[in-house]
Amino acid sequence: MARKSGSSSEKTRPLVRSAALSLFARYGFAAVSMRQIAAEVGVQAGALYRYTPDKQSLLFELMQVHMEELLAAWGEVDPKGAPLDRLDSFVRFHIHHHMDRAEAVFISYMELRNLTPANFAVIEGLRAQYEQVLEEILNACGAAAGDRKLTTLAVLAMLTGVNTWYREGGRLDRDAIADSYVGMVRGLISAAA
């Protein structure tokens, strides 16, 4: 069963994925052509169809892998202890994980409308699962008598918003940013109306 280890296929496939990732993030799915992706990989456009049935599948797989990795990564980090500790851990996890995957995060928020309805439903389901993770933590925290769903969405928007301005080497380092957000989230949930 040994596969030929030097086979070009195993080298090209990840190049296609990463070229699509960075080009879609920079210019948008609709504005990027298969020829641009091919040029970034270093092949001709026709060769891409060895690795994806079409452009849509390329987008969908990037988003699906991103969302599944996100859920799996939290599963490994979740301290499963006291609710307020879990909340702090979630905030730090979300910020660091998203900082490390800026392109995939950007695509997953910006390109939802370019998914076919069937593909959209899959991604939306994964997104709902992730929201559910935070909602359950907030329930366990017994946050003030506010609307839990609203609080969940407010916190997630606030945390994900970091990606719109964070750049490596900026004024604040990653840990200092995460610390600040831990504090803000604590204040927010203690007042959630």
Residues at the contact surface with a copy of itself, assessed by CB under 8 A: 26-28, 30-31, 110, 113-114, 146-147, 150-151, 153-158, 160-162, 164-165, 172, 177, 179-193
Interface with DNA, residue 22, by CB under 7 A: no
DSSP 8-class letter at 48: G
CA 183 to chain centre: 23
List 19, 21, 25, 34, residue binding DNA (CB under 7 A): 34
| Residue 183 binding target from DNA, a copy of itself, none, CB below 5 to 8 Å by type | a copy of itself
Interface with DNA, residue 7, by CB under 7 A: yes
Interface with DNA, residue 49, by CB under 7 A: yes
Nearer to a copy of itself, 102 or 153 (CB): 153
**Dihedral sign of CA atoms 148, 156, 80, 172 in order:** negative
Least distance (Å) between residue 113 CB and DNA: 16
- 191, with CB counted inside 10 A (0-12, 13-18, 19+), is exposed
Gap between the Cα atoms of 156 and 26, Å rounded: 23
CB 184 within 8 A of CB 158: yes
List 32, 105, 115, 162, residue binding DNA (CB under 7 A): 32
**Dihedral sign of CA atoms 21, 30, 162, 141 in order:** negative
Which residues lie near DNA (CB under 7 A)? Answer: 7-9, 11-12, 32-36, 38, 42-47, 49-50, 53-56
